[in-house]
Chain A
Amino acid sequence: DAGVTQSPTHLIKTRGQQVTLRCSPKSGHDTVSWYQQALGQGPQFIFQYYEEEERQRGNFPDRFSGHQFPNYSSELNVNALLLGDSALYLCASSLVGQGNEQYFGPGTRLTVT
């Protein structure tokens, strides 16, 4: 039973560039959530996708956008990167009706220089 997978593991980008992060949910899960974790902080909710639509969004600017595909996998896109976007980006998957139990992937470490 495959868990949540994310790619790439690490990424280095320059200010102003754009980045795409990818996530495959745990087998059988239909909902994907994205979180940003700055160094020394707890994860902060970015948004959640279900049935290929953004269902809920946290306090993040429009530079952060996402997509969910028919196979439930998801992408997180960040445009016009800022130094402050440097963080660990975590993807979590869950199944509707299962008590909001979210399983996390290993994350993508994004460094913006």
Chain B
Amino acid sequence: AQKVTQAQTEISVVEKEDVTLDCVYETRDTTYYLFWYKQPPSGELVFLIRRNSFDEQNEISGRYSWNFQKSTSSFNFTITASQVVDSAVYFCALTLTGTASKLTFGTGTRLQVTL
């Protein structure tokens, strides 16, 4: 069985601060995908990134960056120079490769960015 742990329940930062959201996963499979989703107050889950287990390259997209380390089973997400619009709940998720595979989510981290 797969498991995703997001130990940080809630994080509060002041605008322009950098913030890192932690994600630790468990799976016995060697091939899998990792995801990050953003859930604003409206409720819709917004896809941010997918990472293949074979690709440990870090990725940067604007103010967002992701650090994938198989050795520690972690897939952390950093927001640089946070903004109020970044306030949301962020979920890390895992799915096995294959045509029929569910997403296993963590419990989410609520990020509050204030002025």
Contact = CB atoms under 8 A, between A and B. Distances in A.
Interface residues of A, number: 28
Interface residues of B, number: 28
A97 B99 contact: yes
Interface string A7-44: 00000000000000000000000000101000011111
B59 to A, nearest CB: 15
Interface in A55-96: 55-56, 58, 88, 90, 92, 96
Nearest to B32: A100
Contacts of B47: 101-104
Contacts of A41: 107-108
A43 B89 CA distance: 12
Contact of A106 (B4, B37, B42, B103): B42
Given A42-B107, A55-B100, A99 B52 contact: yes
B43 A102 contact: no
Given A45-B103, A55-B100, A88 B43 contact: yes
Interface of A: 33, 35, 40-45, 48, 50, 55-56, 58, 88, 90, 92, 96-97, 99-107, 109
Interface of B: 4, 33, 35, 37, 42-47, 50, 52, 91, 93, 95-108
